[in-house]
Amino acid sequence: MKDFVLIFRLNNPDFKPSPEQMQERMNWLAGIAAQNKLADKGNTLSVGNAKTVKGSDLVTDGPYTEIKEFVSGYIIVKTETIDEAVEFAKSNPIFKIGGSIEVREVLVHRP
Amino acid sequence: MQKETASSTELLPHLFRLEYTKMTAVLCRHFGLKHIEAAEDIVSETFLKASEVWSINGAPENPTAWLYTVAKNKTKDYLKHLAVFETRVKDAIQTDELQAQHDFEFNHQTISDSQLAMIFAVCNPANSTEAQICLALQILCGFSVAEIADAFLTKTETIKKRLFRARVNLRNDDFQIGQLQEQAIQSRLYTVLSTLYLLFNEGYSSRSNNHLIRKDLCSEAIRLTLMLTENPLTNSTHANALLALMCFQSSRFEARANQEGEVILFEEQDKTLWNQELIDKGNYYLINACSGNQISKYHLEAGIAYWHTTPASEHQWKHILQLYNQLILIEYSPITALNRTFAFAKVYGYEQGIAEAEKLNLTQLNHYHCLLGYLYAGTNAAKAIEHYRQAINLTKSPSEKKTLTKQMERLTFSAKQVK
């Protein structure tokens, strides 16, 4: 089993999910956990309380001033292959609201 | 007179279950856990004496007080012998045994403090959880080795060995049973709660067919958890949530099996057999549990049990599914996964439920096939029958085999009718 991080991106910073949408997302997440393939339920990243630091003298508000999509959160799944992780990603309701998911293997560096 | 002897023969076993553990706990607090065997010997001798004296003279007016007085005198004798020993080999005796010289009382406060201290001593992380449960049953609940073996469907020899090793660990542990230290309580409360949770589950979904033992296991677990909620040091929201869960589950105890011991599915249970008093208690402790902002698996499970005991409402299964979704994120277990899928099917329909269930791929579990059998029953009798057949092959419980065979026969019959 390998760990894959699923990174969620959204393009609408003002998006507020409805209770039904939240329930749908929760069903998706719990569905992965029910298969015992959730390594870390991850976190949601704040949109309002955000800064981008580009150097000691360059700090801008928000993550989205210069990019169209910003990271809204992540989770980590454990699957045999990246394709299996991609299958999980495909069934996420984020696409209904114009978001996207990046799937990346977590590389473990052994000392 | 006849009547009195009859009642005194029933009285002693009843008192034994009730008082043995209390007396042992008080004495252990007095002596320290190193002398747990001495404490148990004194209490056992007390009951032996009671059975001898009461069979001749009849039971005394206040049997409990009689037992406590005799135990106290026996302890004094024991300490006297110890003192003689002590003067002879002074250096060999540790100071903690000198503390035992202080007098002690069997009063309500001492008993409850001692029992509480004993719960924390028994729930020793040095022991495996299985060993902890065995110890809890023996030391806290007064179960005999044979009864424990029956509850676990294990040989008495296995239980004996397990208890022996666990007791060695208990004696070697430096846990002070004398007084409850806040820090020790906080660090062990988690273990204590999970032991009591397992103790309850052992009774609630026990493999043993002995109805009385199963019921006793549940009520003992409730008694001990109740004790935690009654002491300010241990009265946490988690403990209240666990107690609420136990009350809700126990409320359906009488409705869950028929006279042959066959399990009755939730939907087919006779609701008039549900215990309303326990449901009310469950509600009370669930409200207490929600006074903080922490949420544990006990909160979620109690919430699920709450929705099961309330009259069916439109959004009931939606709430239950949400709670299961949270529960599976806290802790994975195959049973939680299956129960969650059942709730999912109730909300989104059996067809979607089947798709969700088949992803779990728990083909080695009888419950997995039971669930799929149930979900397929209305639309695909052949598949349902096949899953029930696999469930029957995988279960060891004769009563479950019987229940499943009935379901299968019903499906086979209706399939033939259609043709």
Longest dimension (CA), chain B: 93
CA B151/CA A23 separation, integer angstroms: 40
Mean pLDDT of B394-418: 83
Query: Which pair of structure tokens corresponds to residue A45?
Result: 């990243």
Residue A67 near chain B (CB below 8 Å): no
For residue B418, the model assigns a pLDDT of 61
pLDDT band for position B83 (cuts 50, 70, 90): confident
For residue A54, the model assigns a pLDDT of 85
Closest residue to A30, CB basis, from B318, B340, B361: B340
CA B25/CA B21 separation, integer angstroms: 6
With 60 as the cut, is the pLDDT of residue A84 above it? yes
For residue B88, the model assigns a pLDDT of 62
- Residue-by-residue DSSP string for B310-363: SPP-TTHHHHHHHHHHHHHHH---HHHHHHHHHHHHHHH-HHHHHHHHHHH--T
With 60 as the cut, is the pLDDT of residue B296 above it? yes
Question: What is the tens place of the pLDDT at every residue in B6-18?
Answer: 455 678 888 887 8
Mean pLDDT of B82-108: 61
With 50 as the cut, is the pLDDT of residue B322 above it? yes
Q: Which helix (H) or strand (E) holds B30?
A: helix B2-31
Mean pLDDT of A81-109: 94
Question: What is the tens place of the pLDDT at every residue in B50-81?
Answer: 999 998 888 899 999 999 999 988 988 888 88
ipTM of the complex: 0.89
For residue B98, the model assigns a pLDDT of 47
Q: Identify the closest residue of chain A to B359 by CA–CA distance.
A: A35
| Average of per-residue pLDDT values in chain A | 90
With 60 as the cut, is the pLDDT of residue A65 above it? no
For residue B363, the model assigns a pLDDT of 94
Give the mutation candidate from A1, A22, A36 for the B interface (greatest B CB count, under 10 A). Answer: A36
Residue B321: alpha-carbon gap to chain centroid: 26
Q: Identify the closest residue of chain A to B318 by CA–CA distance.
A: A23
Looking at the complex, report in whole angstroms how far the Cα of residue A36 sits from the nearest Cα belonging to chain B.
6
Q: Do B361 and A41 touch (CB under 8 A)?
A: no
Chain position carrying tokens 């003067």: B87
For residue B49, the model assigns a pLDDT of 93
Burial of B250 (0-12, 13-18, 19+ CB in 10 A): buried
Closest residue to A41, CB basis, from B329, B336, B341: B329
**Are B391 and B372 spatial neighbours (Cβ–Cβ below 8 Å)?**
no
Length of chain B: 419
Burial of B391 (0-12, 13-18, 19+ CB in 10 A): buried
Mean pLDDT of B143-155: 85
pLDDT higher at B14 or B324: B324
Among B289, B295, B290, B340, CA closest to B318: B340
Residue B10: alpha-carbon gap to chain centroid: 24
- Residue-by-residue DSSP string for B272-294: GGS-HHHHHHHHHHHHHHTTSS-
Beta-strand runs (E) in chain A: 2-10, 38-44, 51-55, 58-61, 70-79, 100-105
Among B190, B282, B275, CA closest to B228: B190
CA B178/CA B114 separation, integer angstroms: 8
| Average of per-residue pLDDT values in chain B | 86
Q: A-B interface: how many C-beta pairs under 8 angstroms?
A: 40
Among B197, B164, B28, B23, CA closest to B99: B28
Mean pLDDT of B362-379: 94
For residue B395, the model assigns a pLDDT of 86
Query: Which pair of structure tokens corresponds to residue B160?
Result: 């004996």
Q: Do B361 and A35 touch (CB under 8 A)?
A: yes
Q: Do B324 and A30 touch (CB under 8 A)?
A: yes
With 80 as the cut, is the pLDDT of residue A67 above it? no
pLDDT band for position B169 (cuts 50, 70, 90): confident
CA B376/CA B370 separation, integer angstroms: 10
Chain position carrying tokens 């129960």: B339
Query: Which pair of structure tokens corresponds to residue B264?
Result: 């009755």
Cα distances from B336 to residues B244, B325, B367, B375, in angstroms, run: 19, 9, 11, 17
Chain position carrying tokens 């009774």: B203
CA B401/CA B389 separation, integer angstroms: 9
Question: What is the tens place of the pLDDT at every residue in B183-201?
Answer: 878 888 888 998 899 889 8
Q: Identify the closest residue of chain A to B334 by CA–CA distance.
A: A34
pLDDT band for position A42 (cuts 50, 70, 90): very high
pLDDT band for position B276 (cuts 50, 70, 90): very high
With 90 as the cut, is the pLDDT of residue B328 above it? yes
**Are B68 and B33 spatial neighbours (Cβ–Cβ below 8 Å)?**
no
pLDDT band for position B126 (cuts 50, 70, 90): confident
Q: Which of chain B's residues have a Cβ under 8 Å away from the Cβ of A33?
A: 328-329, 332, 337
Q: Do A27 and B341 touch (CB under 8 A)?
A: no
The region of weakest confidence among B51-65, B66-80, B117-131, B258-272 is B258-272
Amino acid type, A85: A
CA B342/CA B110 separation, integer angstroms: 47
Q: Do A41 and B325 touch (CB under 8 A)?
A: no
Q: Which of chain B's residues have a Cβ under 8 Å away from the Cβ of A29?
A: 325, 329
Q: In this structure, is the dihedral angle defined by the CA atoms of residues B213, B218, B224 and B226, taken in order, positive or negative?
A: negative
With 60 as the cut, is the pLDDT of residue B92 above it? no
For residue B207, the model assigns a pLDDT of 66
Looking at the complex, report in whole angstroms how far the Cα of residue A100 sits from the nearest Cα belonging to chain B.
23
Backbone angles phi, psi at A10, to 5 degrees: -125, 155
Question: From chain B, which residues contact A within 8 Å (Cβ)?
Answer: 318, 321-322, 324-326, 328-329, 332, 336-337, 340-341, 344, 356, 359-361
For residue B6, the model assigns a pLDDT of 44
pLDDT band for position B5 (cuts 50, 70, 90): very low
With 60 as the cut, is the pLDDT of residue A37 above it? yes
Backbone angles phi, psi at A69, to 5 degrees: -120, 140
With 60 as the cut, is the pLDDT of residue B89 above it? no
For residue B147, the model assigns a pLDDT of 85
Q: Do A38 and B336 touch (CB under 8 A)?
A: no
Mean pLDDT of B36-48: 90
CA B32/CA B96 separation, integer angstroms: 8
Closest residue to B322, CB basis, from A26, A31, A34: A26
Mean pLDDT of B359-364: 94
Q: Identify the closest residue of chain B to A28 by CA–CA distance.
A: B325
Query: Which pair of structure tokens corresponds to residue A33?
Result: 């956990």
Task: Give the 3-state secondary structure of residue B74.
Answer: helix
Q: Which of chain A's residues have a Cβ under 8 Å away from the Cβ of B337?
A: 33-36
For residue A95, the model assigns a pLDDT of 93
Query: Which pair of structure tokens corresponds to residue A55?
Result: 């150097």
With 90 as the cut, is the pLDDT of residue B311 above it? no
Task: State percent of chain B over pLDDT 70.
Answer: 90
CA B349/CA B296 separation, integer angstroms: 29
Radius of gyration, CA atoms only, chain A: 15
